[in-house]
Structure 1
Amino acid sequence: MKIQKIGVKMQRRRRSIPTKKIQLNISVWERWWQNFSLTRLIRNIIIAIFSAQVLTAGILLTISAIRDRKKHLHKFPTIELKEVQVGANRLQLYSNGKDLYNAMLEAIDQAEKSIYIESYIWKDDQAGWDFKTHLARKAAEGVEVYVIFDMIGNLVVPRQFKKSFDPAIHLIEYQALGSYQHVIDPRHYALDHRKLLIVDGKTGFIGGYNIGSLYADSWRDTHLRIQGPATTELAHSFVDFWNRFGPRHHPIQHRYQRRFDPLINLHGNDALRLTFPIRDMYIEAINRAEHSIYLSNAYFVPDGSLLDSLKAAAQRGVDVRILVPWKSNHVVADWISHSYFSECLDAGIHILGYRHTMLHAKTCTIDGQWSTVGTANLDRLSSIGNYEINLEIYSSDFAQQMERLFACDTEDVIELRAEDWHHRPWYTKLSEHILAPLRFMM
């Protein structure tokens, strides 16, 4: 009897073991499900992606810093271009910083009534001090001198340098976020990325050059001098900016006569009013192209509409050539721009890498008729973010100058081939995919 009872108990125990296991598994699943949080999962995914981006960017920045220490400054090809007449205006292109700065300082020295100068970056170096000295001299002579520079763009510039402008010079250090209330309004995140000089409302300069010895000696950029009535539009743009963001007790009162010029149009992005005509200007001109599009830009991070326009132009037989720095001063921006190259190459667009130095130009010329020179990069910060200014010029003579400059810049470049680009290393592609989401912030 005892043996039978023991056998029955063992059988019951064997039967109960699976049931207990099932109950245990269900209990574990229920506890996991009770502790599950979709919010926590999404948060962890975001943290993982962000960490991967930070790690990738950190590695690239480290490599870039090591590369820059070993980098030697190289001379880059230049070309002398003559002044051209466009309507009632005379236009002169500059592709060399020293020549440009000499022309700007000469114009400052000849000022009789007013000098308006605006720069995103103003370095504490020889070039920076040269401009300050010349401006102070003219202010002492009674010329009204107005200066604007961006606070964020000059964060690394010593505070003492920014405070040492002559007291006779009217000065704005533009701040993107002027108050705590602006934090919740994205329109107030815009930086002042413009570069302008207007003397007496008669001579104006506009383009990509900031003020600094590095740019004069080592960077390849493009600037434009205008002499004639179109300069007043640049003056109006400066005055409007000053009177909006400058001291209320000291607005600029002088007003220049406005003119309609069918050959030279000014386009300025206005973040506060959410108007961004420069991007639309590019798209409209690209959509009209029949023969050629020669585009130079420091940071190629276009939005979908602009990229589609460029691809469509190439697919209908237009010779589309995009010149970018092969190694720019922002290595992360380089890698983000690389994520667009496959689409471009597959569409028949020529991607050309400028190998000599940092290419900082923001120019384009189309069909030997239409051109633009200005401050706007082809990225989202310039397209729908910062304050920017570009000139749109209808002139075959000026377009010919632009084409000659583009030909000089592309004499010795790295031209990408679709087959080679598609077979780049897997880790390079992975890095580009990790950084790709950052394109919406650049």
Structure 2
Amino acid sequence: MQFADWLHLGTFVMAAHVLGTIAACHAVLNTRTSQGAVAWAVSLVAMPYFTLIPYLFLGRSKFAGYIDERRLENEILRSRSHPAEWESGDATDSGALQNVSSVRGVAAPGPAEYLGHPAIRTLTRLSGMPFLRGNAVRVLINGDATFSAILGAIEAAEHYVIVQFFIVRADALGQLLKETLIAKAQAGVRVYFLYDSIGSFDLPHHYVGALRGAGVEVHKFATKRVFVNRFQINFRNHRKIVVVDGERAFVGGHNVGVEYLGGNPRLSPWRDTHIEVRGPAVASIQFVFIEDWYWATQRLPEVGPTTRCPDDMHCLVLSSGPADKQETCSLFFVEAINAAHKRIWITTPYLIPDEAVFSALRLAVMRGVDVRILIPSRRDHRVVFAASKLYAYDAVMAGVRIFRYRPGFLHQKVVLVDDIAAAIGSANLDNRSFRLNFEIMVLTVDRRFAAEVETMLLDDFAESYEIDQDDYRLAPAWRRIAMHVARLFSPIL
């Protein structure tokens, strides 16, 4: 190399390190957690050539003024436009119920007693929504059952349809959804369609144009209402919500794409879970959409009241996001784990818990709770999968039983607490769901439903294998090093 070449190279290296140092200072000042700040600062100073560009995409955990503005809007909506069901007799006043014993070792409380449990009061305050009784919840296992139910409900709609997904693809399933929505809009049904601007970044303009041309109100969700920053992939709306006529709501892990029907051979068969909800809890699910729709459009959708349900299940809708005053999603997992007397079973595609959740898992093991976590054996993201393997090893060392699902990729998000409570929704056991994404979970307190979820999970465990310490110890040295390097980025994964 000529002297001039060396000079150019030296200038590039110096500039990279100067920019890396500046970015590291920015990360220390703006990253929400100390772990994330350390991870970014070290990587930006030591390896700016590799981390400066990713920092543009992943690094900023907040926009100036965004959190305050979003939080103010939510508070106004909840005080002035909340569902009438929250004021009716369907709302369970958990504070008026007697407290159950918090002494460990006693039998798990029954349905009536459980509604007065301190954990229920905590989660009600955390969510900002009441526990509502008089619901029916049905489990939808895998894509065929989920989209058959969703499309069938939309086809039967008479007044309005709400559709919100993180990922919408213009493939065979996406086209079927589009045609169904267009048909309803042309029949005079009000249709509201919200998709995430980054999760659905490759959704063609002609797809959206066809919906709008047929009268469907379509909008993308972004942290900036006018300008969509392609370099910003935090604050994504990861929720999956469908509501039809206030009668039925659908929440869970499925997005709109053929891979969720097993169309990706590398990940097939795809294992996922959705739920169908009827009753007053539909109003809470619908209201979560209203908050997101109002942020995106500054208009309220025209929706109606929910219908009664002959069943009497108690449900709490828990929405979470980066504008929350508390870290709602992380605290939900902590409280659910702490509330367990007998067992806590969790299924998640990504196992990257924060310290609070991991401590709660360790303490649950110490008090004799059956703690199981089901994760995939196939990967869809290399870095996340590598970090998850190391966390799985740490969990096994702490006494947590870790299982890997064999048949295909596992994407469901399910929490089962004792024999009484189950939560299903969109939240993963990772920092992105805890602090960076908008999520929704539906918690049900009902023995019959918990038994149904237990049966489903037992079937999944039967098709899984339990890992032990050798899963990490017998791995090649280079792979163990890769796991530790990947874990450095866990606060931003």
Normalising by the residue count of structure 1, what TM-score does the alignment of the two structures yield?
A: 0.77
Asked whether the equivalents of residues 222 and 296 of structure 2 are also in contact (C-alpha less than 8 Å), the reply is no
* Letter in structure 2 aligned against 1:169: V
Structure-2 separation of matches of 1:280 and 1:145: 34
Provide the aligned C-alpha RMSD in A: 2.9
Q: In the TM superposition, what are the counterparts of 1:268-307 in structure 2 within 5 Å?
A: 268-307=319-358
Per-residue deviation, 1:219: 1.3
Asked whether the equivalents of residues 373 and 392 of structure 1 are also in contact (C-alpha less than 8 Å), the reply is yes
Distance of aligned partners of 1:98 and 1:380 in 2 relative to their CA distance in 1, 3 Å threshold: same
Structure-2 separation of matches of 1:149 and 1:420: 39
Residue 252 (structure 1) aligns with: 301
SS of structure 1 residue aligned to 2:451: helix
Are 1:128 and 2:171 counterparts?
Answer: no
Residue 432 (structure 2) aligns with: 381
Name stretches of at least 5 consecutive residues in structure 1 with no aligned partner. 1-38, 55-85
Residue 175 (structure 1) aligns with: 222
Are 1:193 and 2:242 counterparts?
Answer: no
Asked whether the equivalents of residues 236 and 255 of structure 1 are also in contact (C-alpha less than 8 Å), the reply is no
Instruction: Tell me the number of residue pairs that the alignment of Structure 1 and Structure 2 aligns.
Output: 369
Residue 239 (structure 1) aligns with: 290
Are 1:354 and 2:405 counterparts?
Answer: yes
SS of structure 2 residue aligned to 1:372: strand
Residue 249 (structure 2) aligns with: 204
Distance of aligned partners of 1:113 and 1:46 in 2 relative to their CA distance in 1, 3 Å threshold: closer
Distance of aligned partners of 1:41 and 1:153 in 2 relative to their CA distance in 1, 3 Å threshold: closer
Per-residue deviation, 1:294: 1.2
**2:393 corresponds to which of 338, 342, 351:** 342
Normalising by the residue count of structure 2, what TM-score does the alignment of the two structures yield?
A: 0.69
Are 1:264 and 2:321 counterparts?
Answer: no
Per-residue deviation, 1:340: 1.0
Asked whether the equivalents of residues 349 and 428 of structure 2 are also in contact (C-alpha less than 8 Å), the reply is yes
**1:150 corresponds to which of 178, 181, 196:** 196
Name stretches of at least 5 consecutive residues in structure 2 with no aligned partner. 1-16, 22-41, 53-131, 263-268
Per-residue deviation, 1:407: 0.7
Per-residue deviation, 1:311: 1.3
Structure-1 separation of matches of 2:241 and 2:227: 29
**2:137 corresponds to which of 63, 78, 91:** 91
Residue 33 (structure 2) aligns with: none
Deviation readout 1:275-328 (Å, 9 max, x if unpaired): 442321221121121211111001111110001101111122111110001112
Identity of aligned residues (%): 27
Asked whether the equivalents of residues 370 and 399 of structure 1 are also in contact (C-alpha less than 8 Å), the reply is yes
Deviation readout 1:375-417 (Å, 9 max, x if unpaired): 1111111111111110111111111111111111111223111
Greater Rg by CA: 1
Distance of aligned partners of 1:330 and 1:171 in 2 relative to their CA distance in 1, 3 Å threshold: same
Asked whether the equivalents of residues 137 and 277 of structure 2 are also in contact (C-alpha less than 8 Å), the reply is yes
Asked whether the equivalents of residues 195 and 219 of structure 2 are also in contact (C-alpha less than 8 Å), the reply is yes
Deviation readout 1:115-153 (Å, 9 max, x if unpaired): 001000111111111111111111111111000001100
Distance of aligned partners of 1:237 and 1:215 in 2 relative to their CA distance in 1, 3 Å threshold: same
SS of structure 2 residue aligned to 1:387: strand
Q: In the TM superposition, what are the counterparts of 1:39-188 in structure 2 within 5 Å?
A: 46=44, 48-49=46-47, 87-167=133-213, 168-178=215-225
Asked whether the equivalents of residues 284 and 317 of structure 2 are also in contact (C-alpha less than 8 Å), the reply is yes
